[in-house]
Every structure is written in C-alpha cells, then in structure tokens.
Structure 1
Amino acid sequence: MDERKKFDTAVPVWQEWQEAPWGRLRYAVAEADLGRHIEDRRPLRVLDLGGGDGGDAVRLAARGHRVTVVDYAPGMLATAARRADEAGVGDRVTCVEADVAALPGDLADGGFDLVLCHGVLPYTPDTEETLGVALGALRAGGLVSVIAMNRHSEPLRAAVRTMDPEAVLAALDADGVHSEMFASELRLHTAEEVGGVLRALGCGEVHHYGIRVFCDYIPDDAPKYDPDYYARLERLEIETAGRDPYRHTARLLHLIGRKGA
C-alpha cells in the first residue's frame, strides 16, 4: 500500500486513539510543556512538520498563533482543515501537502518562530537530516519542539504489559517497535541522542520533558476513562513532565530547543 494511503486509511483509528486517555495526555502535556517557553501575547508563525490531522495545530491556533501544517497524506490534511474550521480557527491554519524531506522553498526559508517535529522521527531513517530541515525553517532565536518514542521506556512497558522476562530482555536492545495502527516499524530514540543532534545543529539551549511518565505503567486502563481520575492523572503528568528521574522513562520524550544566532 502507498504510504500516503496507509496513513489516510488509518484516520478514524488515529482519531479514536487521540480521544483515548493516553492520546489526550500526549496533546495536553505537550501543550503544557510548550507553554513554559512561549508567550501568547503575540501571534507566532508556526510550522507543524508531519502535522497529520491537526491535533497540535488546532490547539496552537486557538491560542491565536498562525500554523502551517505540512504532511504528505492528503486525507490527514483534509481532516486537519475540517477540524480547524469546526474549531473556528480555519483562518489561522494553512495545510500544505508536501514531504517533510522536501519542503517548498517558502517554508524552508528560516522565518518561523516555532517548528514542531512531533512524531516524525520514528518514521524517518535519518534523525540529523530531519532535524536539520526543522532548524532550517526556524529563525534565529526561535523554538523547535521534538517528540519521539523513548527507547528507555520500552523494557518497562514490556514488563508491565506482558509480565514476561524474555520480552523485557528483548526490549533492552530494541531499536524499534511495530505499530499496528499504521502498519509501520517505528524507530526508538533517547533524549540524549536527539538532544546531542539538536546541539550539534546549533541549539544552544535544549530542555527535556517526558510525556506519559506514569500513564503507560498503570496496567488497568479502565479507570483512565473516568473524568475525575483522568483529570487527576493529567495534573500528575504535567507536574512530573520535567522532573528527574521520571522524565527519563516516560513513554515519549519531548525536547524543546532554541536556535542560536
């Protein structure tokens, strides 16, 4: 199946995932992390690489920022445009069908205040090349936000979910995991690796957060759907996102870097 069709076909399942507690936490914690570094007093020019159906873009547009979503799956982009219109922010969200590795010249010109690279690295073979594209589109002093799957979390997740020591041993050296949702092999990363690349590319300041520090290690998923329980869990996740040692074993790593002059 063509890669674009693979993602477009999975839109309903992906949106169901976003509405699940772990999906909601992914967006809520990321938004809270970004809120520590950006101010809403002036609209930012934001580029959302691989932004899919607009999960991050609509949230930022609702805060008054202008967001350009780039994705190569037309069905995902159509969903993003529809979500933006339904949220009343369609005039602040622009959708561009393009491959992240081959951005149109007007997007790669280095004029953005904030570039999101959320969930892109697991699908790309070259971390440095992908992050180079992100930083190339960023103005000096602008912010880059990177979310990827945390390699350190995989053995812990295997222990909790399978209770199988052999599965945990296998996960210790795993470089990737299989995604049933998108029928893809996803690469795993560490904050140390990604942070090192960001610094080598010119980020003098890199902040490390974890997303879903505890959620994925609570084996009973049923209580997470209770509104009161979820609210308490979200508060816990936001509070611990930047704390040691918890951020190092979160299911997702979240790095926010500032590009040097």
Structure 2
Amino acid sequence: MPETPKPPKTTEASEAPDPAQKFDRAMSVWKEWQEAPWGRLRYAIAEANLVRHCEALSDGPLRVLDLAGGDGGDAVRLAARGHHVTIVDLAPAMLEAAAGRAREAGLADLVDCVEADVDRLPAGLAGGGFDVVLCHNLLAYADDARHTLGAALAPLRPDGLFSVMALNRHSQPLTVAVRETDLPAAVAALDSDRAGTRMFGSTLTLHTAEEVTRHLTGLGCRDVRHYGVRSVCDHLVDDARKYEPAFYAELERLELALTDRHPYMHTARLFQLIARKDG
C-alpha cells in the first residue's frame, strides 16, 4: 500500500528511459491505487485542507495550476467546486485520462491540460497570475528540491496559496516496521532519504516537512501550515477492512481530525504544507 507519486519533471533525451512512457504504462495500476481506500484518503484529506485556505482567499472562482497533476485526481475535485484548473504533466496518457475524467464529470470547461515540464512552462503559464499552485508528489523525483519549489512558485501571484505534498521521511521507519515487519530495514531507514516504488520502478527521495518549510520561507513564503496525510491508515495492517464502507467512513473522520493535530502529522505517511507567497 505504498504512496505512488506522480510523474517527475522531464530528463534530457540522452538519459534513458523516457519517464513519461514509464508512467503511461503504469496507468491501470495507478487507477486501482487511486480507487483504493488509501488513495481516496490521500485526495480527500488534501482537498479538505486546501478548501479551508481557498475559502479564506476568495469567495469566487480561483485560477489553479496543478503541476505534475497526472490524471486530475486533485484538479477535478477543485473544478467541481467551481475553480478553473490547469493541469501540467509530462505523460500524455495521464493528461488524456484527466481530460476524460473532467468530461465525465461535466467539468471540461473548467479543466485545461498542458503537456510541459515544470522547469520549462509555456509563457502563458510561467508569467504568473495563478491564485493557487499545487506541487503534489513531485519532490520525490526532483534532483534539487529548492530549485523545483522555486520553479513551482514562479507562476503564483503575490499572496496566492502554494500547496506542496511529499512523502514524509519520518514515516518510513514506521512503515517498514509495521507493514513489512523488517526491523533491520526499519533501523536503516532512520538514516536514509531513499525509498523505492514498485509501481513506477523508481527510487524516490524522501523529505521532511521541516526541511521543505525552510526552503519555502527562504523562497519568500509565509504563514506555512503543516498537515499530515494518512496519519493512521498506513499503520493499520488489515487492508480488507478499509474497503468496508462504515469502517472507511470512520477512518476518514479520524484522519481529518488528526491532519493538523500535533504530534500525529509528524509521522503521517505524507506531509502537506500550505503557504502564502509574499507580495
């Protein structure tokens, strides 16, 4: 039940293989993951955290940029609330799926899909003016987290909202110990910032909320709020029960109650930071 991040930023053609093709091939497995309880929780909690900030930002529709937005898991939820969302991703199959999801929901007019690199956005996007920018599950693939965050912040207007989500390094030893009962590996994970994902066949870089908060403040962000995503779910080994509607409903209720409560967000499987960009 690992978190399976979405496509990374592009690599040079001389570096094999093409990452977009790798993610396109994993589409069916990715869809299954999204529909599983842990995938549903990841999106539900992220949406709830965003909504409380978006409502404070404006009463009207917002312009949202979803970087590495994949097949629209975050975007369509926000579009359903009346916001206009532009998804940027490198994988054509992911973007095709996002467009299809928007059409099925009757939201095609509110969702645009752009095939592009976070570091080389088209001029119309890179120029700024977005009210909200999402950078969810991208840092795990970035060679330089600060550089990636800086590129992601560039299109955001002054006083706009920035949301970054990443795998939490603090959770890795617990996850390995509880899910795999591999205690030596759990000890080794205490001093490692690397983990693998079977779905996309990649080695991931793990971060902490504290590290990323320092990057954000150094890049001109303020009012950084820390949330935990899946504080409990990944430490419950009975995955079958999570598919039971009543149990899932109670689990979601618990996760929402813990998302901003100390100390639980520090060991959640993912962290989400929502900040304001200085004017």
Please tell me the TM-score bracket, short chain as reference.
over 0.9
TM alignment of 1:28-177, pairs within 5 A: 28-39=44-55, 41-177=59-195
Residues in 2 aligned to 1:147 and 1:165: alpha-carbon distance in whole angstroms: 27
Q: Secondary structure at the match of 1:102?
A: coil
Q: Secondary structure at the match of 1:168?
A: helix
Deviation at 1:164, TM superposition (A): 2.5
Residues in 1 aligned to 2:22 and 2:44: alpha-carbon distance in whole angstroms: 26
Q: Which moved more, 1:209-218 or 1:165-174?
A: 165-174
Map Cα deviations across residues 152-183 of structure 1 (whole Å, 9 max, x no partner). 00001111012222111111112111111111
Q: Percent identity?
A: 62
Deviation at 1:2, TM superposition (A): 1.8
Residues in 2 aligned to 1:165 and 1:179: alpha-carbon distance in whole angstroms: 19
Q: Which residue of 2 aligns with 1:23?
A: 39
TM alignment of 1:202-241, pairs within 5 A: 202-241=220-259
Q: Where in structure 1 do 4 or more consecutive aligned residues deviate above 3 Å?
A: none
Q: How big is the alpha-carbon RMSD for the aligned residues of Structure 1 and Structure 2?
A: 0.9
Deviation at 1:240, TM superposition (A): 0.5
Return the TM-score normalized by structure 2. Answer: 0.92
Q: Which moved more, 1:180-189 or 1:156-165?
A: 156-165
Residues in 2 aligned to 1:141 and 1:113: alpha-carbon distance in whole angstroms: 8
Q: Which moved more, 1:52-61 or 1:38-47?
A: 38-47
Pick the aligned partner of 1:3 from 19, 36, 47.
19
Q: Which one-letter code corresponds to 1:84 in the other structure? A: A
Pick the aligned partner of 1:197 from 206, 212, 215.
215
Residues in 2 aligned to 1:174 and 1:91: alpha-carbon distance in whole angstroms: 44
Ranges in structure 2 where 5+ consecutive residues have no aligned partner: 1-16
Q: Which one-letter code corresponds to 2:53 in the other structure? A: H
Ranges in structure 1 where 5+ consecutive residues have no aligned partner: none
Return the TM-score normalized by structure 1. Answer: 0.98
Q: Which residue of 1 aligns with 2:29?
A: 13
Map Cα deviations across residues 50-84 of structure 1 (whole Å, 9 max, x no partner). 00000000000000000000001101000000000
Map Cα deviations across residues 18-53 of structure 1 (whole Å, 9 max, x no partner). 000000000000001111211273000000000000
Q: Secondary structure at the match of 1:100?
A: coil
Q: How many residues align?
A: 261
Q: Which residue of 1 aligns with 2:12?
A: none
Q: Which one-letter code corresponds to 1:192 in the other structure? A: E
Map Cα deviations across residues 197-241 of structure 1 (whole Å, 9 max, x no partner). 000000121000000000000111110000000000001001100
Q: Secondary structure at the match of 1:178?
A: strand
Q: Which one-letter code corresponds to 1:76 in the other structure? A: M
Q: Secondary structure at the match of 2:238?
A: coil
Q: Which one-letter code corresponds to 1:144 in the other structure? A: F
Pick the aligned partner of 2:273 from 244, 255, 259.
255
Q: Secondary structure at the match of 1:37?
A: helix
